[in-house]
Chain A
Amino acid sequence: MDVENNAATILDRIRAKGAEGDLIVDEGQALSLKARDGELEEHKVSSSQIYGVRVIKDAHVGTAYSEAADEQTLNSMVDQALINATFAKVEADEKILNTTGSLVTDDALLCPSDEVSIENKIQFVLDMEGDLAAKDKVQNVPYNSVSDSIVQRRVFTSSGLDASLKQRMCVASAYALMVDGDKNVMDGSGRAARQFDQLSYAGIVEEAYERCVGLLHGEPVPTKHYDLIFDEEFQVEVFSTFASMFSGKTAKDGVNPMRDKLGDIIADPRLKISDQPLLTDGFGYALFDSEGTATRATPLITEGRLETLIHNSATAAHFGVSTTGHGIRGPKSTLGVSLHQLHIDKGSDSPETLFSGEYLLITDLSGLHSGANPISGQFSFGAAGYLCRDGERIQPVRNITVAGNFYDMLKKISAIGDELFWNLERSAYMPHVRFADVAVSG
């Protein structure tokens, strides 16, 4: 049976048992290629499908999933979810939304057809690996890959909603190991696009090489406080690490320090943060959330003031507000809350102002999750980058730690750049932010 018929059978069974529910079906096809020493090292193709059901009966919620799609297993999945629900606490706020109709994304925009042959994709990864390996002091390119994947998410609800989002994502990346005497470094670069022919390996090779050669002879800087500017990747990583500060779910669970700060000034007045799920250039694009709620732009911090937390329908009901369309659930998980595409409005500081005086440009961070406490805001990360002065790189820097409190850093912003950028995964769109006076140990 096809997905629609299976979904109808599953939802009929849920209703027949006196429950309501929804079903998420994720399907994917993917190709990935890796090269080694001028030969194709790995060629991987896959197809996958998974059904995940959530049932609600007498205010108890249960979930179950299956990667097998025969009728008997899918019926058993529904029955198991109903059994699981009997053990769960009462969740008076969690309901299946009373939405109907259909939401479908535009394939021409998000999932364009691919005209690039497999031979050309193989040649791409071979050339990328070979060109980078041929660079001065590059010992090898141990991590490289090219992938082309299509993912489709379907959400069906017992109230009659049928929503579908289908996206294509092509990614290429290469990481080189560079050795010079007793110094070594590994670093790399990558690109992502909707269509394979929009990718070019030349830029990846040059950027990966520049990142390695730049940091190869890095040394610690003296221990003191510095202004920090993160590069495009790691600025997004840092904001994402502490993104639970916006979560209505962590607020409901009592582990969000922003829970009682709605309307308060929590950041520099120049900072404006929002979630922009409908920017089609981003791979975090979401026409609807995991409950099937249509999404919209959501201001989070305006002029430094905390505007709202993000909610699914259950956390919204708990706080007596409306869902913001940020419900997140996979076939294997329960209902949570998550941002789609984080956005910071561009500021008014020109590159001359942003990059004036002495600062550290951070181009690598390690321990982002283990070294961070989103409840307290405390963090301590390993870092590398460059000591800079007036936009010039004075010294490559390695083996340092940066430490502080992220929530305090939001109030100690010294500049916000006037240009916006996407990160590699195109999940966030923001300008450079300069954080003042952060503790660095060398």
Chain B
Amino acid sequence: MLGSNIADSVVDHALSLGADFAELFVDRNQVNNIATLSNEVQSVQSGIDFGIGIRLVYGYKVLYGYTNKTDLDELRRIVSELSAKDLRDPINQKLAFDYRKPEEHHPASDVLSLDACIDGKVAYLLAADKTARAASNMISQTRGSCMQREQSIEIFNSEGLHIGDKRNYIRTSLTAYASDDGEQATGSWNDGGLRGWEIRSDISAAETGSEAARQALVNLSAKACPSGRMPVVLGNGFGGVIFHEACGHLLETTSVAKKASVFHDQMGEMIANPMVSAVDDGTMANEWGSINIDDEGLETQNTQLIKDGKLTNFLADRLGAQQTGYERTGSGRRQSYHFAPASRMRNTFIEPGEDELDDMIASIDKGIYASHLGGGSVQPGTGEFNFAVQEGYYVEKGKIQYPVKAATLISTGPAVLKEISMIGKDFSLACGMCGSVSGAVPTTVGQASLKVDDILVGGNA
């Protein structure tokens, strides 16, 4: 995508201006998005994103620029402008580029550059819609989407690295709207992976449609949620978003190096109930959050974050490793050439335990079973979080009583880690997009169902 001779000249120019380290990140994304509204195609969109990110490092200082242009003069101009206030005699010598291609751990066959397969995707979404609307005459509408993306990256740096990779992403989703007597509620389901449209053989339009409809109908019948402090059972799969947001971000050197994480000085200490072990694994075949190499060109890894309650690793990118002294973990990620890389999660989950979901619910006198979580937010410095319950039930005397709506879970990540008292066997993963300092990147969250003894539940009953 960019001639080695041009990259060589730009990197050489950067080092001649005194940079410790220089890197070019060449990024091309081909995108195709299909949207349906009930049984019609709402839109088909396609596009090309292309640009080059230039990163210069002087000590701990990062200088970053980007452009859509590939000509040498423009790239050298950006380097000169970035380094204008840091000029000094050259310190490092550039090493000759040594091109290598990473091992492919995530094969894809039906990729976007070969065929967008629009007919097949439309048929899938319309079949999901048909199933959803057949579930009940209260399902008034559906919205479907299928996003496919093929990202080609090429990285050059002053240490002689020249590496390229391709990433194929596919994600489908359906949201069902249920209406009755002026009330409306929604339910949704999605699938995704680091692969091509061949995912169609592993997903089911009927299951997608029926699950979205089921959730919408449950929520339509939901009552106001009781509020106050109480035990909560978090469902498997996307329930892991709480660990991702309220704990995972605090284990990234992006916040550890700034001491903007409550865990920054707790390496080796017990930070969770001893039954909790957690992992961030970038190597899982064809998972949504996986990669072959990170966006700094390092082969990705499987990183044990917490083992039996003890903090064992942080997630480190190049700069984070330099600042904290912890080893790089192949976690330097970014949304696109618009961003400098930062330490980010990949597939992050709490490992399964030995408990049964039924036993967790039976152990609750008054509490909530949050079978599906929605989105939320976290304050990185303190770990304070807020998550919406997408599908939840009030539990009393060990039995599920009725579905609840507009429930919110409030606590802090460090507190929840210690309040986990039961972990189930029903482990599963779910895909999402994670937004942070280096943009939005695909990440997977996961866990088995687990019980937290004390969370503040916000409701309006």
Interface of A toward B, CB cutoff 8 Å: 36, 39-50, 52, 61-69, 73, 77, 80-81, 84-85, 87-89, 118-119, 122, 139-140, 142-143, 175, 177, 184-186, 220, 223, 253-255, 257, 332-334, 366-371, 373, 375-376, 378-382, 399-405, 439, 441
Contacts and interface: CB of A to CB of B under 8 A. Distances in A.
Please report whether the interface of chain A is mostly helix, strand, loop or mixed according to DSSP: strand
Nearest to B319: A41
A441 B458 contact: yes
A43 B55 CA distance: 10
B361 interface: no
Given A68-B50, A89-B40, A441-B228, A142 B386 contact: no
B45 A255 contact: no
B211 to A, nearest CB: 19
A177 B68 contact: no
Q: Which of B50, B66, B386 has the most CB of A within 10 A?
A: B386
Contacts of A367: 375-377, 386-388, 408
Interface in B358-404: 374-377, 379-382, 384-388
Contact of B375 (A186, A254, A369): A369
Given A223-B228, A401-B456, A48 B51 contact: yes
A75 B382 CA distance: 51
A183 B438 CA distance: 29
A142 B255 contact: yes
Interface stretch (B13-21, B256-264, B289-297, B302-310): B256-264
B458 A66 contact: no
B458 A140 contact: no
In the A-B complex, the 5 residue pairs with the closest CB atoms: A401-B458, A370-B375, A382-B386, A142-B260, A441-B227
B379 A186 contact: yes
A143 B407 CA distance: 30
Contacts of A439: 227, 460
A254 B141 contact: yes
Contacts of B340: 42, 44
A332 B47 CA distance: 8
B67 interface: yes
B406 interface: yes
A65 B377 CA distance: 31
B457 interface: yes
27 contacts: A36-B258, A39-B61, A41-B60, A43-B63, A43-B82, A47-B66, A48-B67, A48-B68, A62-B44, A64-B46, A77-B47, A77-B48, A84-B43, A88-B41, A89-B40, A118-B85, A119-B85, A184-B262, A184-B381, A366-B376, A376-B185, A380-B460, A381-B458, A399-B410, A403-B406, A439-B227, A441-B457
Given A48-B51, A87-B41, A381 B60 contact: no
Contacts of B267: none
Nearest to A255: B177
Nearest to B405: A378
B64 A87 contact: no
Given A66-B47, A399-B410, A441-B228, 18 more contacts: A39-B60, A43-B62, A48-B66, A49-B68, A84-B44, A87-B34, A88-B41, A334-B35, A366-B384, A366-B385, A366-B386, A370-B375, A370-B386, A371-B374, A371-B388, A378-B406, A380-B225, A403-B406
Contacts of A67: 48-51, 68
A46 B338 contact: yes
Nearest to B373: A370
Given A140-B259, A439-B227, A376 B45 contact: no
Nearest to A186: B381
B386 A84 contact: no
Nearest to B44: A84
A186 B260 CA distance: 9
B186 A381 contact: no
Contact of A43 (B40, B61, B118): B61
B78 A36 contact: no
A125 to B, nearest CB: 12
B81 interface: yes
B45 A84 contact: yes
Nearest to A46: B66
Nearest to A118: B85
A186 B68 contact: no
A45 B65 contact: yes
B181 interface: no
B184 interface: yes
B408 A403 contact: yes
Q: Which of A52, A254, A333, A401 has the most CB of B within 10 A?
A: A401
A381 B42 CA distance: 32
Interface in B22-71: 34-35, 37, 40-51, 59-68
Contact of B381 (A66, A87, A142, A405): A142
B388 A186 contact: no
Nearest to A45: B65
A380 B392 CA distance: 14
A340 B376 CA distance: 26
B460 A382 contact: no
A380 B51 CA distance: 40
A257 B184 contact: yes
A207 B34 CA distance: 46
Contact of B140 (A254, A399, A402): A254
B49 A370 contact: no
Interface string B101-143: 0000000000000000010001000000000000000001100
B458 A380 contact: yes
B353 interface: no
